[in-house]
Amino acid sequence: MAKHIVTFTGYRTLHVPTGTLLSEAAQMADIEIQQPCGGQGRCGRCVVQVTNGTVRRRSTLRLTPEDVGAGYALACQTIVEHDVTIAIPPQEKIERRLATDRIASDVTAPLGYTPLGQPLHRLPLDLPPPSMSDQTDDWSRLQTALRQQTGVDSFRIDLPLLRRAGRIMREGEWQVTALVETDTWDRLDGPARVVALWPGHVPDDEPLWTVAIDIGTTTVTLWLVDLLTGRVRAQAAEYNAQIARGEDVISRIIYATKNSGSTELRNLVLETINTLLERACKIVQIAPEEVFKATVSGNSTMMHLLLDIPAESIRLSPFITAVNHVPTLLAEDVGVAIYPHATVDCLPGVASYVGADITAGVLSSGLDDAEPVTLFLDVGTNGEIVLGNREWLATVACSAGPAFEGAGVLHGMRATQGAIEETWINGESFDTSFRVIGGTKPRGICGSGLISLVAEMFLTGVIDKSGNIDLDLPTARVRYGTHGPEYVVAWGDETHDGRDIVISRTDIDNLLRAKAAIYAGFTVLADSVGVPLETVEQVYIGGSFGKYINVEKAVQIGLLPDMPWDRFHFLGNTSVRGAYLALLSREDRARIADIASRMTYIELSADNTFFDAFTSALFLPHTDLARFPTVQAAIQR
C-alpha cells in the first residue's frame, strides 16, 4: 500500500499508509487530540488545520464552509491520501476542580465498626519448628497453625506464594505473620486464602491497607483505607483518561470497537487508577504493593472497559451486558498495581445502564433499608433513578446525553476553571451577571450554569415554554447568529478569548431533551410502581454533578420534580462510598449483592408510556403546569 508523509508542525513527521485517519496518524506520532464523541464526527472538537497538501474529508459536520476553506478538518473524519502538513490547535486543557488529593480526616468508619466484619485478617503465628521426629511439610504446618488460631477448616494458597512460603518461615525462624482473606464475592463461605506471608510478627497497630475505587465516566476517585480502623486515610481523584476518547459511555463503546480501541481504553483507565494509587500511597508514605485488596464501583460500561470485556452489546438492542456480577479477580490480572495477588471485587450491577455505581449508591444512601418511599438519583450523561424502600426497589436509566456535562452545546464545557456555573438575568434590562469557577474570565458554561441560565431565561421571558427565544425583546443580547436565534450570556470584552459566549436555540433544544428524558424517567418509574411522585418523602442525589445542582433552578426547568426543598439531600460520591462500605464489612457485601438481585429494572425503550412522558416534559417546565406549583407561582409573580 502506498505510504504518505504526514508532518505535524511542531511535533514530528511520519509515514502512514493511504486511508489512515488523521486522528490515527496523530496517535502514532504520540500527539494527544481530544475526541469527546469517540471519533464519530459529531462533536467537532478534534479539529485540525491542513496547512499544506490535500485530504479527503468524510464528514465536515460542525465545520462551516469558511472553516473548510481555511483548511480545517475533523481529525477523526479525515483520510490521508497524499503528503500533508497538519497544524494542531492547542487542546482543551482538563483542569481539576475539587479533585485535589488529600489526607482524609473526615471519613471515619461507620459507628460500631469492627475489623472482624471485614475480609482480611493479619494473624501472627508461632510455628513449631520441624525436626527429625516432626516431618510435617511447610504448608501443612502453616495450615495447622492457621486452623488452631481461626477455627476455619480449610485454607488455600496461590503458587507464587507457596514457592516463597518455606523460605519466609525459615527467615522468621518459624515466627510468621499470615494475611488471610476469609471471603470474597464468589466464595462467601469457601476456604480462606493465604494472601501474604511475612517473616516475624508484624506489629498489631501497623495499618492494613486497602482501596475503594469508583470509575466514573468523567472522574475516577480512589480512597485508601486502613482496614484495622476502618478510616479513609487518603483520597485522590482525577479525570478518567478515557475522556479524550469519548465523553459519554456510548462514544467510548464505539471507540472500543475500533482497532485496538478496547485495549487502549483499558490502558487509559488503568493509567488513571494506578496514578491515583501512587498519589494516595505517597500521602501515607507506603508503596502501592502494600495495598492488599480493592473494591471497584462504576457503571456497567466502565466495568467492561476496565476488564477489556466487549461492551458492544450494551449499546445494541436488547442492551445486554456480558456480566453484571464479576467474580473475584486478582489484581495482577486486572492490572491494578497493588499487591499482585490481592483480590479485586467489582461491585455488582443490575443492567446495561444501571451499574454498580447505582447499587453502591443505594447501599450508601441506605435506601434499601428506608421506611418511607425514597428516590435516589444520579445525573451525569445518563440519569439513573431508583425508587423504593426496604420492601421493594425499582429502577430506570434515561439517556440524557452529554448536555449536562457541557457537551453538544456550542459554548458548553466541563465544570472546570473558567466555566460559568450560575447566572442571573435582570428581568427589565435582560442583562446577565454570572459566577465563574475559579473567578477568572469565562470560557464557557458548564452543566449547572446551563440549568441556571435556562431557568432564568424562562422566568424573565427571554424564552417561552417551548424554548423559543423572543427576538423582539429590547436588548442587543437577543439576536440571530450563525446557528439561528441566540442570547448573549457574556460579551467578548468580558470573556477569556474575546468572543461572545452565547446560548443558541439549538443548545436550548438539546437541554430540553436532556431534562425531558430524566423527568420522563421519574414519571414512568413512579407510574409503573403506582406511587405518585408527590408522595415521595425523600430524594437522595448522588454523583458529583448532583453536588452543584441548584434545586430551585432544576425544578424551574422541570428537571427535578416539584417538591419541598427539604426533601432533597445531596450525598456526593455515593459510588465510592458504596465501594468503601463493601470493603469494610461482609454484611455490606452481602447487602449490595442483595440490592442488585432484588432491584426491578424497567427498560424505558420497551415502555410504551415513555415517549408520551418525554414529549410532555419537553416544555418548560412541563405541559402539565399543575405538576409544578412553585414554578407556576413564580411565573405569575
- The minimum distance between CB 248 and ligand FES, in angstroms, equals 12
When asked if residue 621 is in the footprint of ligand FES (CB under 6 A), the reply is no
Which residues, 564 to 583, sit near ligand FES by CB under 6 A?
none
Q: Is 41 in the site for ligand FES (CB under 6 A)?
A: yes
Binding segment for ligand FES (CB under 6 A), chosen from 42-50, 101-109, 263-271, 338-346, is 42-50
Asked whether the beta carbons of 291 and 277 are under 8 A apart, the reply is yes
Nearest to ligand FES of 67, 527 (CB atom): 67
Q: Which stretch binds ligand FES (CB under 6 A): 13-21, 30-38, 233-241, 549-557?
A: 30-38
Q: Is the peptide bond before 129 cis (omega within 30 degrees of 0)?
A: no
Cell of 380: 451525569
Beta carbon nearer to ligand FES, 63 or 520? 63
462: three-class secondary structure by DSSP: coil
Closer to ligand FES at the Cβ: 58 or 479? 58
Q: Does 31 help bind ligand FES (rule: CB under 6 A)?
A: no
> Closest CB to ligand FES among 36 and 418?
36
Tell me the β-bridge partners of 382.
Answer: 399
Q: Which of 8, 26, 42, 183 binds ligand FES (CB under 6 A)?
A: 42
Q: Which of 4, 16, 26, 44 lies at the binding interface for ligand FES (CB under 6 A)?
A: 44
Residue 244 Cβ vs ligand FES, minimum distance, rounded to whole Å: 9
Residues 76-95 that bind ligand FES (CB under 6 A): 76
**Distances from the Cα of 122 to the Cα of 55, 115, 165, 300, angstroms:** 63, 10, 16, 33
Q: For the chain, give the longest Cα–Cα distance.
A: 103
By CB under 6 A, residue 631 contacts ligand FES: no
In the bound complex, what is the minimum distance in angstroms from residue 106's beta carbon to ligand FES? 39
Residue 192 grid coordinates: 480462606
Interface residue with ligand FES among 22, 26, 31, 39 (CB under 6 A) is 39
* Interacting positions 266-325 with ligand FES (CB under 6 A): none
> Quick one: DSSP state of residue 133?
S
C-alpha cell at position 470: 423572543
45 binds ligand FES per the rule CB under 6 A: yes
Closest CA relative to residue 118, chosen from 578, 576, 586 = 586
- Pick the closer one to ligand FES by CB: 36 or 402: 36
Q: Which is nearer to ligand FES, 6 or 74 (CB)?
A: 74
Which among 193, 263, 220, 188 is positioned nearest to 101, based on CA atoms? 220
Which runs of consecutive H residues, i.e. helices, occur in 21-77? Answer: 22-28, 65-69
Say how many residues touch ligand FES, by CB under 6 A.
12
Q: Give the nearer residue to ligand FES in terms of CB position, either 41 or 348.
A: 41
Alpha helices by DSSP H, listed for 218-288, are 249-257, 261-284
Q: Minimum distance between the CB of residue 47 and ligand FES, rounded to whole angstroms?
A: 8
Q: Out of 22, 37, 360, 592, which residue is the one contacting ligand FES (CB under 6 A)? A: 37
Rule CB under 6 A: is residue 35 a binding residue for ligand FES?
yes
Q: How far is the CB of 462 from ligand FES (least distance, A)?
A: 30
Please report whether residue 74 would count as binding ligand FES according to CB under 6 A: yes
Stretch binding ligand FES (CB under 6 A), from 34-42, 85-93, 428-436, 572-580: 34-42
Helix axes 505-529, 447-459, angle to 10 degrees: 100
Which parts of 417-436 interact with ligand FES (CB under 6 A)? Answer: none
End-to-end CA distance of the chain: 71
- For position 444 contacting ligand FES by CB under 6 A, the verdict is no
| Complex with ligand FES: residue 60 or 328, whichever CB lies closer | 60
402 binds ligand FES (CB under 6 A): no
Sequence-ordered alpha helix ranges (H) in 317-459: 331-334, 356-365, 447-459
Q: Min. distance of Cβ 74 from ligand FES in angstroms?
A: 5
User: Which position among 21, 43, 396, 559 is part of the footprint of ligand FES (CB under 6 A)?
Assistant: 43
114, three cell numbers:
469492627
Amino acid at 76: C
Return all residues near 147 (Cβ < 8 A) that are at least 6 apart. Answer: 153, 155
CB-hemisphere CA count at 13 Å for 410?
A: 21
CB 539 within 8 A of CB 439: no
Residue (of 630, 396, 387) closest to 531 by Cα position: 387
CA dist 264 and 272 (Å) reads 13
Where does this chain touch ligand FES (CB under 6 A) — which range of 37-45, 140-148, 167-175, 623-631?
Answer: 37-45
Q: Of 543, 594, 603, whose CA–CA distance to 348 is shortest? A: 594
CB-based contact 339:289 (threshold 8 Å): yes
Q: Is 46 in the site for ligand FES (CB under 6 A)?
A: yes
Smallest gap from Cβ 403 to ligand FES, in A, equals 15
- Shortest gap between Cβ of 252 and ligand FES (angstroms)? 12
| Crossing angle of the two packed helices 249-257 and 261-284, in degrees rounded to 10 | 120
- String of b and e for 322-354 (b: at least 16 CB within 10 Å)? bebbbebbebeebbbbbbebbbbbbbbbbbbbb
Binding site for ligand FES (CB under 6 A): 35-37, 39, 41-46, 74, 76
